[in-house]
A and B are shown apart, each in its own frame.
Chain A
Amino acid sequence: MVPPAPTPAAPASGGPSGTPRSAWPDEEAFREAAHDQGWTDGLPVVPATPERVAACLATVGLAPDAVLGAVPTREVTVTAELAAVNAVMAGCRPEHFPVVVAAVRAHLDEHGNCHSTTGTLSGAAHAVIVNGPVCGELGIASGAGCLGPGFRANASIGRALRLVIRNACRAVPGGLDRATFSWPLRYSFCFGEDETVPGWRPLHVQRGFAPDESAVTVHSVMRMISAWDSTSRTPEGVCDSLVAETRVHGMSGDAFLGDGINVVYVVGKEHQRFFVDAGWSKERMQEYLWPRLTAPTAAPRDRWVNLGAPANILIVGAGGAGMAETWILFPHLAWAVTRPVERVTLTP
């Protein structure tokens, strides 16, 4: 059966920041129109009513026209209101919005290199890694299944950033998004860190924040590989597997990014325990990995790894029990950028 044609919208008056708004007969008409307008990732979206947008803005205390960042090459400016519109459409609740704001600010940081990471043929995704008390408060999953579907906060926050990239920053496939294949991680990619690993300082603490602060790290991901190693029983053995897997693929960079590029290792529980049992901190792991990752290459399938310092290796504990694996999030041409989650109110 052919669905009925969407009812045309009636223009309505602009909001405080001038963002256009229109009226539709009902939510179903809006949802169909959103597909026709190219406002979605292909899935249904929630209408961003003025009330829903205002509720988001109230959680961060920002004016609608407050600037979160810009894409100079596209002459695009992303305001708090525009981010809120896309967050609502992605399914966010108001209390999710401070995390979205932090993610958008991180993504639009100069060294987040957003034009490149969203326009690239390689189709890079954007991992939103959340740390701090906000994870528990919002139910941001960091345990079993945390990289996949099933968790509202993870799904909607990650999707919100992607809709900002698509709608506000105009990275539409076939237009400014030139991805040859793209990949499913571009629908949504957000997870928290399991901060209960004994002796491991959370990522945001390693990057200068207090343990009781919350922060978001956005890392552009060109490819994501599982380093599966079920035979090693020592920290050195697991690290050597990570080095070998990383060097098969290598990591490049350029003059603009200098030595600030990062790799992320999402270390699963079955690997974590070898480090915990041996008393290895994240810092010791970084010190072991860095010289081995950056040693001169020696074979055709042994590629250059561009990492300026041990601290550029970002280690995140996450996942559930069972598989002896660590996920490697190889970067696209950007730094991983961390920004604080700043809240005015938190709706329970």
Chain B
Amino acid sequence: MSIVALDPTGGPPSAPRARRLAERPASLAGARLGLVVNGLGHSERFLDALAAELATLVDLAGVVKVVKAGVSVPPDPGDWSRLTEGATVAITGFGG
């Protein structure tokens, strides 16, 4: 006898959840670099050093640094706006 069962996921992700990763740039030359500091450990020191190192390798157009208000939550809306409007690439990392 056949059996009918419900999908425990509720179905495929809707369009917003099906977002794809942004295209990766071939070069960082001319990029406005976003840094998302999660606040754990030495994450800010590490990302600052990484940005400084990158600046010696390529000509960056600028750096937008966001330090999250809490390690366990996403950046706040204002910081998201600064990132999406001011950066062309962004780096985040775990500093635990």
Query: Do these two chains really belong together in a complex?
Result: yes
Within 8 A of A (CB), among B1-43: 1-11, 13-14, 16-17, 39
Instruction: Tell me whether B1 and A21 are in contact (CB under 8 A).
Output: no
Instruction: Tell me whether A25 and B2 are in contact (CB under 8 A).
Output: yes
Nearest residue (CB) in A for B39 is A254
Instruction: State the CA gap A121–B95 with chains docked (Å).
Output: 12
Is residue A82 within 8 Å, beta carbon to beta carbon, of the partner chain?
Answer: yes
Question: Which residues does chain A contribute within 8 Å of B71, judged by CB atoms?
Answer: 254, 333
Within 8 A of B (CB), among A20-35: 20-27, 29-30
Question: Which residues does chain B contribute within 8 Å of A256, judged by CB atoms?
Answer: 69-70, 72-73
Minimum CB–CB distance from B86 to chain A (whole Å) comes to: 22
Minimum CB–CB distance from A51 to chain B (whole Å) comes to: 9
Nearest residue (CB) in B for A9 is B5
Question: A121's contact among B5, B8, B16, B96, by CB below 8 Å, is which?
Answer: B96
Tell me what chain A mostly uses at the interface: helix, strand, loop, or mixed: mixed
Instruction: State the CA gap A45–B11 with chains docked (Å).
Output: 18
Interface residues on B, range: 20 to 34
With A256-B69, A257-B72 known as contacts, the answer to whether A22 contacts B4 (CB < 8 A) is yes
Question: Which residues does chain A contribute within 8 Å of B2, judged by CB atoms?
Answer: 10, 23-26
Minimum CB–CB distance from A292 to chain B (whole Å) comes to: 26
Is residue A85 within 8 Å, beta carbon to beta carbon, of the partner chain?
Answer: yes
With A73-B74, A113-B73 known as contacts, the answer to whether A20 contacts B7 (CB < 8 A) is yes
Question: Which residues does chain B contribute within 8 Å of A25, judged by CB atoms?
Answer: 2-3
Question: A113's contact among B9, B17, B72, by CB below 8 Å, is which?
Answer: B72
Give the A-B pair count, Cβ closer than 8 A: 96
Nearest residue (CB) in A for B8 is A167
Is residue A262 within 8 Å, beta carbon to beta carbon, of the partner chain?
Answer: no
Is residue A43 within 8 Å, beta carbon to beta carbon, of the partner chain?
Answer: no
Question: Which residues does chain B contribute within 8 Å of A49, judged by CB atoms?
Answer: 3-6
Instruction: Tell me whether A48 and B6 are in contact (CB under 8 A).
Output: yes
Question: Which residues does chain B contribute within 8 Å of A73, judged by CB atoms?
Answer: 74
Is residue A89 within 8 Å, beta carbon to beta carbon, of the partner chain?
Answer: yes
Instruction: Tell me whether A47 and B70 are in contact (CB under 8 A).
Output: no
Question: B8's contact among A23, A86, A254, A334, by CB below 8 Å, is which?
Answer: A86
Nearest residue (CB) in B for A166 is B8
Query: What are 25 A-to-B residue pairs whose CB atoms are below 8 Å?
Result: A20-B11, A21-B4, A21-B5, A22-B4, A25-B3, A26-B1, A26-B2, A27-B3, A48-B6, A49-B5, A74-B17, A75-B13, A75-B14, A75-B17, A85-B8, A89-B8, A116-B72, A168-B9, A254-B39, A254-B71, A254-B72, A255-B69, A256-B70, A256-B73, A333-B72
Interface residues of chain B, those whose CB is within 8 Å of chain A, are 1-11, 13-14, 16-17, 39, 69-74, 94, 96
